[in-house]
Structure 1
Amino acid sequence: MSQPLSYFATCPKGLESLLLEEIRSMGATKVKETVAGVHFEGPLTVAYRACLWSRLANRVLMPVSTADCYNADELYAAVKAIDWGQHLAVDGTFAIDFSGKLRDINHSHFGALKAKDAIADDFMQKHERRPNVDTDKPDVRVNVRVAKGKVVISIDLSGESLHRRGYRLSGGSAPLKENLAAAILLRADWPGIAAQGGALLDPMCGSGTLLIEGALMMANIAPGLFRQHWGFDGWLGHDANGWLQLVDEAEAMELQAKNRQWPEIRGYDASPKALESAQENIDRAGLNGKVRVLRKELSKFVKPTHSDIARGLVVTNPPYGERLGDESSLIHLYRHLGQRLKSEFAGWKASVFTGNPDLGKQMGIRSIKQYQMFNGAIPSKLLNFDISEASFVHDSSRQVGAPIARKTLDDLGDGARMFANRLRKNKKNLSKWLKNKEISCYRLYDADMPEYAVAVDYYEGWVHVAEYAAPAKVDPAAAEQRLNDVIAAIPVALEVDSKYVVLKQRNRQKGSSQYRKQEESGELFEVKEGQAKLLVNLKDYLDTGLFLDHRPVRLKIAELAKGNRFLNLFSYTSTASVHAALGGATFTDSVDLSSTYLEWSKKNMALNGLSETQHRMIRADVLEWLKTCDNQYDLILLDPPTFSNSKKMEATLDIQRDHVGIIQDAMKLLSADGVLIFSNNQRKFSLDSEALAEFTIENKTDWSLDKDFQRSKKIHQCWFIRHGA
């Protein structure tokens, strides 16, 4: 059969123009693009070539009849009018794929049943017997499509969808279809980059689909070589010799490709399960040694150290909200991805395929091109980037120290001027230490002058002011005036705009409440501590999400964590867990009863490119959880509140009363050579050393107070506790 025939190749929406060029390159004629597919003509070998070589198509259909059709009877007649003996043996099998609606057909199953009856009746009339139905692997799959008063009846030459190459038996939680992965790579100009010797990297590779498709594309290996079954295998019009010739040519090209020099094609993922699937898929595709996958968090994603890799493409499909479980955490994952690209991959190209297109703005890089695509039913976009300084978007929403306040010291009253001078003096005294230690968030003032009973903390351009409770003898009007002096002085002394000063003021009218909740801003911003990026909220809560006084403890945890198992009890926003993870902990567990803080913790992890696979958030009553946990840890942080009577807890917590039992329970989880860091901010707390005499206890309180907190020695206490007296 060499005469021109008509065909229709289907594809996902958004890939039509790519498919048109692909089909045309195979020698097809009269190629025409339409919604979700391409019409073309040519000899049977062109259709075979499309089946074997198309990286984009879902199916290759060969229409055998087109007829008017408005109801079930006309559908039956149109199907029965075809001489099915030319296509299907009487002892063969067939299946029907039906799509569309008619006046009396509203269900695809009923439409398929009507078409099946027509074929069966045709055989019964001519042969007094009929082929059987096999919906799994039929000899002939018949595609029946009804639309706009017409029915098109086709032989499906591909069989099952062409995106099922045959190398992937399993995927991740939201696997990317192979033909969509191929389209992403084509839109990203991977063939052009590969031709110049560029590398292909995927920092969140999942089951490895982008890497495998990239390798097959680069090496010009036919994606259909892995399939064992085709829709034309049992079709009576099949040209077996013509097909085998095409397969022989493709296999010869594959052999040549595998003997050539390959570029670096490498993927990373935090999930061992995903990497196991990826390696299995790579092996089935015959690409072992050509495509490599390694377990690595996004936080460790860097350019390969090979001296000959000067350029390349970073391509990835980050988790969707439903995959990660919390879409808000994705904001920080995308932010971290952008930071990785900017710091490590200057001069490279990057492509990010996302079902959350607005999150692309969080990367801080302007895309040079965007493509609308669909991942199944999910509207998605491909964002292409040139990683260069010219494309970086700098966040101007928060600039340290700018604009400078217009007022000067001379504009302030006596009290405000005195307070401003104290702030300037404190800042000068701390400046050299802050610079040497690279500290950007610190306490600047802590009730140094008793009449100004506030704590002033500096957070990279923002100033957080917390009012202490005034003694009963202090006139409320005088206290209010002094607080006004503080607020007036800060913008002048620290040269910040007043909009960057946040006050947490005591509610004098309602003594039962400690602080008014300022607002529901949900406003988190990023600060740096050591190698960690952490999120703080200065407006919505009593605390900011980062206890500055515990800075030395967190940095010590980062130092001790490498190769160790870390447990964070009463983990709050899990800042210590982030430090442990970045310090090289094998895994971290963070336990807290507050869902708000655990969600915040997830954001902190995502911001640092750390996955929940390796760093778990556990919502539980710590007191109860300790009694049932049977894990072992090498490093434990126990930093409980002074008191808690949450309705979610089984019992109240009083740290003075309960600390011995909590420490003993925690020590049961500590490995023989491990260390438990115990801390609390109960100012009158006294550790019961006698009750804990079985352990070695080292008081580290003085060490744990940095220079900015040494004016108040009672802000917290800290001990290192080990096994053995």
Structure 2
Amino acid sequence: MLELATPPSEAPDQHHFFVTAARHLETLLAEELRGLGIPEVRETRAGVACAGALADAYRVCLWSRVASRVLLPLAEWPAADPDALYAGIAAIDWSQHLGPEQTLAIHVDSARSGIDHTHFAALRIKDAIVDQFRERSGQRPSVDTAQPDIRLYCRLFRDQAALSLDLSGDALHRRGYRTEAGAASIKENLAAALLLRARWPAIAAAGGALVDPMCGAGTLVIEAALMAADRAPGLNRAHWGFSAWRGHDAAAWNGLREEAEARASKGLESLGRLCGYDRDSAAIRMAYANLERAGLAGRLHFERRELADCQPCGQVRQGLVISNPPYGERLGAKENLVPLYRTLGQVLRERFDGWQGAVLTANPELGRNMGLRAHRMHRLFNGPLDCQLLHFDIRSEAHVDDSPRPLPPEDRGPGAEMLANRLRKNQKSLNSWLKQQDIGCYRLYDADLPEYALAIDIYSAAAADANSGADAKAGASARPRASVEHDAGMQRLAHVQEYAAPPDIDPRAARRRLREAMGVISETLGIARENLFFKVRQRQRGNAQYDRQGQAEQFFEVREAGLRFLVNLQDHLDTGLFLDHRQTRALIGQLAQGKRFLNLFGYTGAASVHAAAGGALSTLTVDLSRTYCDWAQRNLALNGFAPPAHRVEQADCLQWIERPRWDKFGLIFLDPPSFSTSKRMRGSFDIQRDHVRLIQQTARLLEPDGELIFSTNLRRFKLETEALADLAIEDLKPRTLPRDFKRNARIHHCWRFRHRH
């Protein structure tokens, strides 16, 4: 038996309607609808059931920031087979809803029903409607799936059909301002839900600002502005599902629109400071385009800025910083995102004290790297991804030190003493060699014991002056060699890297062993806890090895072969000085006398310093990163080497070597990353795939008797010697592998190339 959704006994202007929402947003939607004055609200699974006048349904369409669709139920009936489904549709008088000249679209969902082919079910519904019109007038409506006059939704559940008219038309998250989006932009109604959960309306009312440090196409910032300006999210939409419906109450709708326009004009007058930052300039351009379409041009601020450089906008001292960073599902592998979350946490702790924070993540483990304690969480779905919205009260008492705390001796297991013995043994075997070679930075331990999968590097260093390298001083070659171990002001530092544990290792057991190790390292080597620097060494892809892990900006000065270098043990995965290249740099210093030296993928310029000290006529260091170019300039200046003889150039090395060049070099050092991608690069680079072309192009820059030193840390690298037969090749690995790295002979490969004559 067909049941009408609104029984005839009810008042003609009263209707039941159903408002849909994404999972876990039902409670938030119910709260919102009560705030809109909807008289009867009942929270159910996947949405909220309501009752009220047609104007109430219109108000939800126009004002709801969280809803997905507003459905007006038309009928319910048993539909165990296609004939019963057809009969129920045919029993409805369709002339009350549309005319034969109009278009329609039908969407069907089915669960636990005999009719499980939803496309076939939609065709049967369409046939019943079309047949009714043909019988009555000889004409029929047509189907338009893109933008129909009438959109119908039918749900089949346990052989019961429920048919509704979709009053919203397009899904309500389509506000009309976002015609393009970033690679992983969230829907507008999910962005609004995040803001409501973060209590943004109250923060905005109190005069607080809003910052999104990874804003992408600006969705969160624009939705926040719409809320703060009391602007209805549906005000920009040109088409609605009820616009061409024959039951449409145009007067009620027009009255609601006029009211919304008046509120929007008034609300703009009190709009506060809202800012969005992103490292991608293309995303910022999209954000500004979306902003203009939203009618908010000139009201908000977007800017291309690195995450580490983000700060509050203006002089506002409190507000909300909210972000939807990558989760490792679409924009990057999870292990490569740890530095990003650490940087985000450090920025919040250091620059947003007193603010509220909210971060959406599908991986709570990543959130724990922020060093902030979440005081509450909300579960939400971003499409199919089960996510958590983490809320932070950004104050000192919420800060969490995630570095492993050393376990006291009484709490350690038997393995701790084995580690202590190995450290003592390694140190003893290296001592005379370190003293003879005047080496102050070296690898002491490299996962010698499987239970303690760590790499431990020791640095004898002094805290660097903030202006180290700013002024060129006396030539470095004239500086006397000194024992760094015994120089005044020097201290021993330990750079501890944990190799990521395989998935089958209990993370709690691994963490306990790590804490044991940190205690053993400190006590056995006599290194203060504040001089232990810890990182997790993951397999890196893209440019992740160059990403910041923090921004403490604490540099130490170390020495190598009488030369001075700045290292940073905290902010990056690598420290600024590759210790396994110590012998390679020494060789470069020996070969550089009287030659023009080129350092490609120059990193922090250590090889260039050695070449300059070895008597090179000139050095040129090329790297894509501005951070490392600045670092290289400081290292050169610290040793008394300055332009024009010793220059640093920021450029994509792959593009740089392709350009026509007149200059030739007597010595070139080529040490590219194993794999690299960057928004400033064309495509990707893979050393195994691309090394032949790279070496051939670089060799073109050599003088007739020039030498090319090529190195790579890809452990499974295979040099394609046949493809490089026009060059003379010498394997330098035995000569360039330092004694402290011989436990791991695959740490790098190194060859020398010359033109054949």
Of 377-386 and 320-329, the range deviating more from structure 2? 320-329
- What is the CA-CA distance between 1:331 and the residue it aligns to? 1.4
Residue type of the alignment partner of 2:718: K
2:57 maps to 47
- What is the CA-CA distance between 1:582 and the residue it aligns to? 12
* 1:435 matches 2:463: yes
Residue type of the alignment partner of 2:93: D
* 1:136 matches 2:205: no
2 CA distance for matches of 1:179 and 1:265? 19
1 CA distance for matches of 2:233 and 2:521? 70
Q: Is the 8 A contact 2:190 2:382 kept in 1?
A: yes
Residue type of the alignment partner of 2:48: V
- What is the CA-CA distance between 1:650 and the residue it aligns to? 5.4
1:231 maps to 241
- Could you list the per-position Cα deviations for residues 440-489 of structure 1 after superposition, in whole angstroms to 9, with x for gaps in the alignment? xxxxxx9999xxxxxx996536499xxxxxxxxxxxxxxxxxxxxxxx99
1 CA distance for matches of 2:228 and 2:328? 32
2:685 maps to 618
- Could you list the per-position Cα deviations for residues 257-299 of structure 1 after superposition, in whole angstroms to 9, with x for gaps in the alignment? 22x1321111111112111111110000011111111111112
- What SS does the corresponding residue of 2:402 show, helix, strand or coil? coil
2:487 maps to none
1:217-366 matched pairs, under 5 angstroms: 217-258=227-268, 260-304=269-313, 306-307=314-315, 309-366=316-373
1:550-561 matched pairs, under 5 angstroms: 553=605
Decide whether aligned partners of structure 1 residues 314 and 547 sit closer, same or farther in structure 2, where only a CA change above 3 A counts: farther
1:641 maps to 711
- Could you list the per-position Cα deviations for residues 79-110 of structure 1 after superposition, in whole angstroms to 9, with x for gaps in the alignment? 11111111111222211111114655322211
Residue type of the alignment partner of 1:215: A
Q: Is the 8 A contact 2:106 2:154 kept in 1?
A: yes
1:426-575 matched pairs, under 5 angstroms: 434-437=462-465, 459-460=493-494, 462=496, 492=524, 494-495=526-527, 529=555, 533-536=571-574, 543=580, 553=605, 567-568=622-623
Identity %: 37
1:115-194 matched pairs, under 5 angstroms: 115-194=125-204
- What SS does the corresponding residue of 1:155 show, helix, strand or coil? strand
- Could you list the per-position Cα deviations for residues 327-373 of structure 1 after superposition, in whole angstroms to 9, with x for gaps in the alignment? 32111111111111111111111111122232111111111111111
Decide whether aligned partners of structure 1 residues 327 and 61 sit closer, same or farther in structure 2, where only a CA change above 3 A counts: same
Decide whether aligned partners of structure 1 residues 417 and 203 sit closer, same or farther in structure 2, where only a CA change above 3 A counts: closer
Q: Is the 8 A contact 2:212 2:276 kept in 1?
A: yes
- What is the CA-CA distance between 1:318 and the residue it aligns to? 0.8
- Could you list the per-position Cα deviations for residues 366-425 of structure 1 after superposition, in whole angstroms to 9, with x for gaps in the alignment? 1111111111111111111111111111124166999999999xxx99x969969x99x9
- What SS does the corresponding residue of 1:90 show, helix, strand or coil? coil
1:700-719 matched pairs, under 5 angstroms: none
1 CA distance for matches of 2:14 and 2:162? 18
Q: Is the 8 A contact 1:534 1:575 kept in 2?
A: no
Q: Is the 8 A contact 2:113 2:159 kept in 1?
A: no
Decide whether aligned partners of structure 1 residues 148 and 640 sit closer, same or farther in structure 2, where only a CA change above 3 A counts: same
Residue type of the alignment partner of 2:711: P
TM-score (norm 2): 0.65
Decide whether aligned partners of structure 1 residues 282 and 501 sit closer, same or farther in structure 2, where only a CA change above 3 A counts: closer
2 CA distance for matches of 1:582 and 1:646? 33
1 CA distance for matches of 2:162 and 2:400? 51
2 CA distance for matches of 1:335 and 1:547? 33
Residue type of the alignment partner of 1:89: G
* 1:75 matches 2:85: yes
Residue type of the alignment partner of 1:378: L
Q: Is the 8 A contact 2:38 2:52 kept in 1?
A: yes
Residue type of the alignment partner of 2:605: V
Residue type of the alignment partner of 1:534: H
1 CA distance for matches of 2:697 and 2:429? 57
2 CA distance for matches of 1:493 and 1:322? 41
1 CA distance for matches of 2:389 and 2:70? 26
Residue type of the alignment partner of 2:283: A
Q: Is the 8 A contact 1:269 1:296 kept in 2?
A: yes
Q: Is the 8 A contact 2:673 2:712 kept in 1?
A: no
2 CA distance for matches of 1:62 and 1:143? 9
- What SS does the corresponding residue of 1:45 show, helix, strand or coil? helix
Q: Is the 8 A contact 2:604 2:628 kept in 1?
A: no
Q: Is the 8 A contact 1:165 1:224 kept in 2?
A: yes
Q: Is the 8 A contact 1:8 1:60 kept in 2?
A: yes
* 1:114 matches 2:124: yes
Q: Is the 8 A contact 2:80 2:115 kept in 1?
A: no
TM-score (norm 1): 0.67
Decide whether aligned partners of structure 1 residues 546 and 100 sit closer, same or farther in structure 2, where only a CA change above 3 A counts: farther
* Residue segments in structure 2 that go unaligned for 5+ positions in a row: 1-10, 441-457, 468-480, 485-489, 499-519, 556-566, 587-601, 610-619, 636-647, 656-668, 702-707, 737-757
- What is the CA-CA distance between 1:615 and the residue it aligns to? 7.1
Kindly tell me the number of residue pairs found equivalent between the two proteins: 573
2 CA distance for matches of 1:130 and 1:489? 83
1 CA distance for matches of 2:126 and 2:69? 21
Root-mean-square deviation (CA, aligned residues, Å) is 5.2
- Pick from 589, 598, 614 the counterpart of residue 652 of structure 2: 589
- Pick from 388, 394, 412 the counterpart of residue 395 of structure 2: 388
Q: Is the 8 A contact 2:20 2:69 kept in 1?
A: yes
Decide whether aligned partners of structure 1 residues 136 and 287 sit closer, same or farther in structure 2, where only a CA change above 3 A counts: same
